[in-house]
Structure 1
């Protein structure tokens, strides 16, 4: 019976014999899917086995972005000892273990780096097709700060709409609305699209007043924005109007009362202070009377 060491040696010899027989490079991807947070670095692994010297080794990495899978781009190439990077990736991508490994490292990862990567290895004089391996890279993004706003009628009986939207987040953030006080209540939300949602509150009352929070969450974290609503009571508005009316009426009554007091005072002054002629006027009156006084002697003399 063969031991485990003999079995391992036999398996290795079989693999080598198969490679020599087929003259093909065998490529192995140690991971089929990898996730990385935007801005971090990531290693994309690609191992290969070849039976020929590595003097003419050729390695090509390509990317089919999620945004345009039908238009793959060349990421980095190793050919006859030279490394060529895509101009848009210079300084952000490099091989890590040449010539024995086809692994590459990417730093400062971006959303545009997400997609399906292919590692193709060819090593002439082997004439068979290049060995190919694939893996999927996902770039994760924390939710952006949501933008909150409201519109509608804040008077009692009106209707108010609360809206919330985020600009980014991978995986797609979960958006929810909650009323925080006087007690926390989760509100049913209507999603406009993956990144925005709204809540409609009808027949608002003073109980509708309070602090509301919109939350956007994914596995990288949560961001919040807030709206403070104050509903105006129609009763309070009428009371204010009534108070203004009372004050106006009181002001008019005081004005009329002042006019009445003035009239009474003038009337009273006219009775107690009747007009009397002055001393000069009395003297002038006496002089006038003297001018026409009766003289009997003159009358008598006129008839003589």
Structure 2
């Protein structure tokens, strides 16, 4: 009898404490949750109230890691009605209403990552709503990276190879390699979290080949490639120089011979014209010579 009385007294005290506090008690069983993109996850939130659930109100909010200054409502339960944020329509639902505030989030996306808060209020209990908080991380393999190059691919120029990946959680590790003829790892300049570049100065024919950018995290690896061709002008070796000099010499000889032939031809023409002119002058001289005195015979 004494023990029963003690138990009854204890329960009475507990109930009186809840009534005096006048607030819903909220607990979250896990404070940090991870899920792979595309999978489903349950966000836990349990509550304890001493009042009937006729006016129960539950609000789930999200503060994204990428935009912490703009929290948004995810789903609301208000006196039997459920309202979903259009961005989560068809992907979020309560798991055990009205006795549990757990929600199930389907087809998770990287943008779903952030801090979730579960607010529970059950009038006529007074006081602030009970609040539970947890952090959700959405893991994603690297997206297919984009490989680009810019610069001067002529021998002696400089070329920059860039690699850009749009998505990946955890942040992917990036590396650049030259695959042909030998596999060589290149030093990389990281620009932000999702971009890396390699600069090659004073390029030569040895820099021609296939280059690969790899982005890796614990969920996978993606690659992109660049085929770099370095233009090298012909080698100015002694044999080439001698050939050029010989060609120029032969051209000069041929030009000299051509000039000589033209000169001889012109000289022959002038000589022929001069001889013809002299013959004409002689003819005219004989034609106009005064007649000889005729001899008279007695």
The two structures have a TM-score, normalised by structure 2, of: 0.72
1:146: which partner in 2?
146
Residue 4 of structure 1: aligned partner: none
Take 2:285 and 2:25, find their aligned partners in 1: how far apart are those partners?
A: 153
Distance in 1 (CA, whole Å) between partners of 2:246 and 2:90 is: 79
1:71 is displaced (CA, Å) by 4.5
Cα offsets for 1:158-189 (capped at 9, x unmatched): 54433333344332222211111111100111
2:32 aligned residue: 33
Q: List aligned pairs for 1:221-300, cutoff 5 A.
A: 221-233=220-232, 236=235, 242=241, 247-264=247-264, 275=275, 288=287, 292-297=291-296
How far apart, CA to CA, are the structure 2 residues paired with 1:113 and 1:120?
Answer: 18
Aligned match of 1:166: 165
Residue 192 (structure 1) aligns with: 191
> What is the match of residue 4 of structure 2?
none
TM-score normalised per structure 1 = 0.70
Aligned to 1:113: 112
For the residue of structure 1 that corresponds to 2:181, the secondary structure is coil
Q: Which residue pairs with 2:5 in the alignment? A: none
Secondary structure of the structure 2 residue equivalent to 1:55 = coil
Q: Deviations over 1:42-101 (max 9, x none)?
A: 432333454544333222212222234355333222121112334554454332332233
* SS of match in other structure, 2:59: strand
Deviation at 1:136, TM superposition (A): 1.1
Distance 2:190 2:200 in 1: 15
Unaligned runs of 5+ in 2: 1-7
User: Residues 71, 159 of structure 1: CA spacing in aligned structure 2 closer, same or farther, 3 A cutoff?
Assistant: closer
Q: Which runs of 5+ in 1 are unaligned?
A: 1-12
Distance 1:266-1:20 versus aligned 2 partners, 3 A rule: same
Which residue of 2 is the match for residue 3 of structure 1?
none
Contact kept? 1:143, 1:221, Cα under 8 Å: no
Distance 1:237 1:274, change over 3 A: same
* Equivalent pair of 1:143/1:217 in contact (CA under 8 Å): no
1:69 is aligned to 68
Once the two structures are TM-superposed, the CA of residue 190 in structure 1 deviates from its matched residue by 1.8
Q: Cα 1:34–1:285, aligned 2, differ >3 Å: closer, same or farther? A: same
CA RMSD of aligned residues (A): 4.3
1:130-180 per-residue CA deviation (whole Å, 9 max, x = no partner) reads: 443322112334335224213256324x54433333344332222211111
Alignment check: 8 A CA contact 1:143 1:170 kept: no
Label 1:66 to 1:18 Cα distance change in 2 as closer, same or farther (>3 A): farther
1:16 and 1:147 map into 2 onto residues whose CA distance is 69
